[in-house]
A and B are shown apart, each in its own frame.
Chain A
Amino acid sequence: MGVAGSCVAVAFRLPTYWCSPNFAFLMLDGVRKALDQLSWSPAYRVRLHDHMFAEEVNRGIEDGKTFGDIFAGLAGDEDIGALRETFNMKAFKRRQEAVLLALRKQRLTDREILGMDLAAYDVARLGSGDAASRKARYRAALVERFPARKQGDAVFVTWEGRQIPSEALDAYLAELRAVRINMEFNGALCRGLKQARYKELDVIDGEPTLVDFIMDRVPERNAPAT
């Protein structure tokens, strides 16, 4: 990303040359939204690099086309709005599972957990560090999904907004676990692929490791690290 005067240039890239272009488009859309929210309304240019459809995407963006316009001939009936919704749902479930499991670890009963309202959730202790940030992340996902949620409303509901009976919690958690297993596969794989593709340094104790030398990912002295 570069800023020159009142102009912003954003470049982005994906873990592989083959990644689904709809992912690229979702990211692009997110970048555009973030830029549009800036108080100083900069002019901007966003470009996708190193992708089999980079040219099509970049040209489409500059012409102000929608995803459907750019990929109509290729992607068929792909509905980018529905895809975004799917991602939001998965994020909701993933974050919800993390706090449900953490609350069970705190030895709360299933009934106590599922009976929590937003006010009780906000004062519940889940520990510091990662646990605290997971708690905040679920709250954000909940409020994004249900903007009208009030202090006295239940904090653990399904994505569709239904209450979860305490006797059904095990089965419900099994469903959330399946979502997590699928997401973790993509997450771990894609992070690994991106790191390998762009020869990102795996620095241990501030020094590149033997692997980095074998992989030729150590920049020459004085060269800026990527």
Chain B
Amino acid sequence: MYRTPEGKDIFVVDGHTHFWDGSPENQKNIHGKQFIDCFYAYHTGLSPKEQLWEKGKFEKYSADDLYRDLFIDGPDDVAIVQSTYLKDFYKNGFNTIERNAEVAKRYPERFIVNGAFDPRDGEKALEYIHFLKETYDVKGVKMYTAEWNGASKGWKLTDPDAYKCFELCEKLGIKNIHVHKGPTIIPLSKDAFDVHDVDHAATDFQGLNWIIEHCGLPRLDDFCWIATQETNVYGGLAVALPFIHSRPRYFGEVIGELLFWLGPEKILFGSDYAIWTPRWLVEKFWAYQIPQDIAAERGVQLTDEIKEKILGLNAARLYNIDVEAKKKALAKSPFSIAAE
């Protein structure tokens, strides 16, 4: 819960968090080292200096760090933990669902654990989706279309194998498909940045919600165009939001475009923990106003009501969270007591 300076309590769903192990002990090869180094550069490049972590902690933080940063020091009520396997880079994987489920087990009311699969695995991917549903009862998955797999240097949401997977997701009630469309590693082909496959997949799977993480940046205009056409396409603010600190005017232009095209119901907060921690992001977001000239030009405002939607209510809708019931249940949780 985030308590505003005016004393209002705001329900926060953090749509994009990780519990990874990028430590040297877990790195399989140079790629594993370079991957976590690149994340660390995102962290140091865009965080306020008083929020900087030491490299060792960033590579591998504890479950207690995560609970504290999200729920005690941090304002999150519920956190969605995304899975990113990267088993070619890390001996035990980077951020597998097993690891996420383990950390979520202690406080199940606080976590939503999402799965991941690779449609290029064919039949195995379908079996794995069944496994995810049966074992973890997942409500969502994270897709990374720029990932390599054998001879393939990336895939599209519209590939026939992908469609088979999404059909199965729809059937099993795995409704929230988070797709990484943003700055990407190994962007060999320009298709790795392309967002147009979202357009077709969202049209063909109306029963699924398509949450485009990082809002397609640096293809914001293409993303906005698609999200305007498709009622079931949403934008996740991870990576865009930290600019609120280093380049506040620029953040104003991005959020101005998103509000103009998508409207306030389709934008979701995400910290991308542990690249960034949610507390400073939420505090700065609450205090933020779009510069007047940008707001006037686009005819949009970032009101408290809109901020409340972005910070939690929109994601709650997608994940069927009864906000009032959740607030009551969490008031009795050990974190709420620890935070007092």
Contacts and interface: CB of A to CB of B under 8 A. Distances in A.
Contact of A188 (B31, B49, B243, B257): B243
A83 B190 contact: yes
Contacts of B254: 181, 185
B186 A182 contact: no
Nearest to A192: B45
B111 to A, nearest CB: 29
A17 B42 contact: no
Interface stretch (B112-120, B125-133, B216-224): B216-224
B188 A193 contact: no
A163 interface: no
Interface stretch (B33-41, B62-70, B305-313): B33-41
Contacts of B49: 209-211, 214
Nearest to A191: B45
A176 B35 CA distance: 34
B44 A76 contact: no
B267 to A, nearest CB: 16
Given A18-B34, A181-B257, A196 B220 contact: no
A214 B57 CA distance: 13
Interface in A51-75: 52, 71, 74-75
Contact of A17 (B34, B40, B253): B34
A102 B250 CA distance: 18
Nearest to B33: A17
Contacts of A181: 220-221, 250, 253-254, 257
A181 B52 CA distance: 27
Interface in A136-187: 177-179, 181-186
The DSSP consensus for interface residues of chain A is helix
A195 interface: yes
Given A181-B257, A189-B45, A215-B52, A196 B218 contact: no
A78 B192 CA distance: 12
A16 interface: yes
B219 A182 contact: yes
A63 B299 CA distance: 56
Interface in B234-252: 243, 246-247, 250
B186 A177 contact: no
B173 interface: no
A52 B37 CA distance: 13
The DSSP consensus for interface residues of chain B is helix
Interface residues of A, number: 35
A86 B187 CA distance: 17
A29 B217 CA distance: 27
A189 B218 CA distance: 10
A17 to B, nearest CB: 4
A183 B218 contact: yes
A196 B186 contact: no
Contacts of A21: 188
A24 to B, nearest CB: 12
A184 B250 contact: yes
Contacts of A178: 220-221, 257
B189 A76 contact: yes
A197 interface: yes
Contacts of A83: 190
Nearest to A175: B221
B211 interface: no
A17 B186 CA distance: 8
B186 A193 contact: no
Nearest to A209: B49
B189 A196 contact: no
Contacts of A17: 31, 34, 37-38
Given A21-B188, A193-B42, 17 more contacts: A18-B184, A52-B31, A52-B186, A71-B188, A74-B153, A177-B253, A178-B220, A181-B221, A181-B250, A182-B220, A185-B220, A188-B247, A188-B250, A193-B41, A196-B44, A197-B41, A209-B49
27 contacts: A15-B41, A16-B41, A17-B37, A18-B35, A18-B38, A18-B187, A52-B34, A52-B186, A74-B153, A178-B221, A181-B250, A181-B254, A182-B217, A185-B217, A185-B254, A186-B218, A188-B246, A188-B250, A189-B42, A189-B46, A189-B183, A192-B41, A192-B46, A192-B246, A193-B38, A193-B45, A195-B45
Interface of B: 31, 34-35, 37-38, 40-46, 49, 52, 54, 153, 183-190, 217-221, 243, 246-247, 250, 253-254, 257
